[in-house]
Amino acid sequence: MSYDIANPDPAGTIMSLRSFGYSVEAAIADLVDNSISAGARHIDVFFTWDGPGSWVAVTDDGRGMTAEELLTAMTVAARGSFEVRRREDLGRFGMGLKSASFSQAGRLTVASLSGSDPEAVRTWDLSVVANTGEWRLLHGSDEATAALLRRLRPTGAAGTAVVWRNLHRFALTGLTANDTRTQKQFYAEAARVEDHLGMVFARFLTGRNRLSIAVNGNAVRPWDPFLAAHPSVQRLPVEEVPVGAHTVRIEAFVLPHPRRLSDEDLGRAAGPAGWLDQQGFYVYRRDRLILAGDWLGIRGLRRDERYNLARVAVDVPAEADADWAVDVRKSTAVPPIGVRRHLLRIGTAARSRAAEVLSHRGRIAAREHGAEFIYAWRVDKTNGRIRCRINREHPLVQEVFRGGPDATVDARALVRLLEETVPVAALRIMHDMDTADDPEPFLGAAPKEVTEVADRIYNAFVSQGRTPREARERLAIMPPFDQLDGFWQQ
């Protein structure tokens, strides 16, 4: 067959790579992947503010690259996802360095030294690619970046430095180094990166061949979402689930009730995103966290505060990347059909145990705080239905029923008390399904009781100036009477 050579436009390709949706923390993590793959034991991340001249760099003490290897590393998709990689290689598509860097900066410079070979330096300047329409990978760097590289790598030891200049988010007209508001934003990103790296690379930071990472000189602290060392953590049995030609390791954890944690442990357990967003599955690939705190779109599992203590580690072999649809950014994953039922079963068990921990602690707290008359609301579950009632034994409720000279004042106080003590926590704990156990108004009540309540509301409307017809019409659209039959529907 005849054919055409349809080479992609370099400038258009660059713009596409810029639009992959990297956050700055995900982009930095991609660079750290490369350093780990190169055998680095120490990695430094630098954020330096200088207005439009601000820069970000990642340096490592890995094995470095020759000029030929650096050319391959700087070439877009030089290595496909199908290529067999070393066990320590965290790469996926051969695009991480470029796509991550292009998403953040207009100029990418990489300097690397391997063994006795001369240092190799190459630069992608996106403006050059756009102006020439060619993939011109520049040798060396500009003078300012060269001076910076000498500061970053003063000893001349093996390793690699990646430098981002012309940062997209800070290429603002009129921006100066004196803009303190933007400067705070810049360094806030550095703080987020530090937290993110502690989460994503926690296993490397605590492993046998311990890795160290620093952001602007601050050592990155590993974050264990499972509090595995805490004596009160419940660990469900580990399961090795065969999926196709590979095996997925799944281990569920139920964290202790927050009251059993110290203030420091409580803050750490909440994680970078907070309790609600950190519940769920944690997908790891070669010990590198891909997805943190997500129920993976599995039907029947959704975020709910009752399950904040449920976290499940899922270890996926790198050879199963395609099956799990791991993306270029290594930040999303979609479980294959063969493993979803196992994830549902294990996730449901962890969620149930987590809800029990909160519920049990809630019952203990109720007993510790004294007799039932203290609480304005009573919540229970009978025959699968939740009932939420005002506690008629409460002294203020009894005073309102008694109807003494201060009944109006007591009623106002009671309404205020009820507004401020709606039993949200108790209802949250008792809910088992989305809607099946929702409370039903007047469930099991005699028709006379419903009519008595409706009649008092009707009389209140009339006494406040409504005509009988208007009173019935308003009552007919008022919950729960809009769903019930009675004189107001006539």
Instruction: Tell me: pLDDT of 368 over 50.
Output: no
| Cα(311)–Cα(225) distance, integer angstroms | 7
| Cα(279)–Cα(253) distance, integer angstroms | 10
Best CA proximity match to 287, nearest among 88, 47, 30, 5: 88
137 vs 273 pLDDT, higher one: 137
Instruction: Tell me: pLDDT of 465 over 90.
Output: no
Q: What is 234-364's CATH number?
A: 3.30.230
Instruction: Tell me: pLDDT of 486 over 70.
Output: yes
The CA-atom distances, in angstroms, between 198 and each of 25, 134, 271 are: 11, 39, 10
Instruction: Tell me: pLDDT of 444 over 90.
Output: no
Instruction: Tell me: pLDDT of 373 over 50.
Output: no
Please state the pTM of the whole predicted model: 0.71
pLDDT score at 142:
94
Q: What is the mean pLDDT of residues 414-432?
A: 70
pLDDT score at 295:
92
1 vs 225 pLDDT, higher one: 225
Instruction: Tell me: pLDDT of 94 over 60.
Output: no
- Report residue 194 CA to chain centroid gap: 15
Q: Tokens 């009623």, residue?
A: 411
Kindly state the percentage of the chain with pLDDT values over 70: 86
53 vs 9 pLDDT, higher one: 53
Copy the structure tokens of residue 11.
């400038």
Confidence label for 430 from pLDDT (cuts 50, 70 and 90): low
pLDDT score at 371:
43
pLDDT score at 16:
76
pLDDT score at 196:
94
Instruction: Tell me: pLDDT of 247 over 50.
Output: yes
Q: What is the mean pLDDT of residues 420-439?
A: 60
Confidence label for 462 from pLDDT (cuts 50, 70 and 90): confident
90-94, 321-325, 334-338, 405-409: the lowest-pLDDT one: 90-94
319-328, 367-376, 447-456: the lowest-pLDDT one: 367-376
Instruction: Tell me: pLDDT of 212 over 60.
Output: yes
Helix count (H) and strand count (E) of the chain?
Answer: 16, 16
C-alpha dihedral (424, 428, 429, 434), degrees to nearest 10: 160
444 vs 141 pLDDT, higher one: 141
Instruction: Tell me: pLDDT of 354 over 80.
Output: yes
Q: What is the mean pLDDT of residues 416-427?
A: 74
What is the H or E stretch that residue 372 is in? none
Number of other residues whose CB lies within 10 A of the CB of residue 154? 8
pLDDT score at 151:
92
**Domain extent listing, the chain:** 10-219, 234-364, 372-489
pLDDT score at 121:
96
Q: What residues pair up with 387 in beta bridges, in sequence order? A: 380
| Cα(456)–Cα(464) distance, integer angstroms | 12
Radius of gyration for the chain, computed over Cα atoms and rounded to the nearest angstrom: 31
Identify the CATH class of 10-219: alpha beta
Equal fold, 10-219 vs 234-364: no
Q: What is the mean pLDDT of residues 47-68?
A: 95
Kindly state the percentage of the chain with pLDDT values over 90: 42
Residues 6+ apart with CB under 8 A from 360: none
400-416 tens-digit pLDDT: 888 877 788 888 887 88
14-23, 201-210, 422-431: the lowest-pLDDT one: 422-431
pLDDT score at 442:
66
Best CA proximity match to 30, nearest among 334, 317, 331: 331
59-76 tens-digit pLDDT: 999 999 999 999 999 998
Instruction: Tell me: pLDDT of 372 over 80.
Output: no
Instruction: Tell me: pLDDT of 418 over 60.
Output: yes
For 333-347, the DSSP string reads ----HHHHHHHHHHH
| Cα(163)–Cα(151) distance, integer angstroms | 12
Confidence label for 476 from pLDDT (cuts 50, 70 and 90): confident
pLDDT score at 393:
78
| Cα(203)–Cα(210) distance, integer angstroms | 9
Residues 6+ apart with CB under 8 A from 121: 109, 110, 111, 112, 139, 140, 141, 146, 149
Residue 104 DSSP one-character state = T
Mean per-residue pLDDT of the chain: 83
Q: What is the mean pLDDT of residues 263-276?
A: 86
Number of other residues whose CB lies within 10 A of the CB of residue 328? 20
What is the H or E stretch that residue 198 is in? helix 180-200
432-442 tens-digit pLDDT: 444 455 556 66
| Cα(243)–Cα(233) distance, integer angstroms | 28
Q: What is the mean pLDDT of residues 312-330?
A: 79
6 vs 122 pLDDT, higher one: 122
374-400 tens-digit pLDDT: 567 877 766 667 778 888 877 778 888
- Asked if residue 148 lies in contact with residue 55, where contact means CB atoms within 8 angstroms, the answer is yes
Question: Which residue blocks in 320-466 are alpha helix, DSSP H?
Answer: 337-368, 395-402, 407-420, 424-430, 447-463
Cis preceding linkage at 405, omega within 30 = no
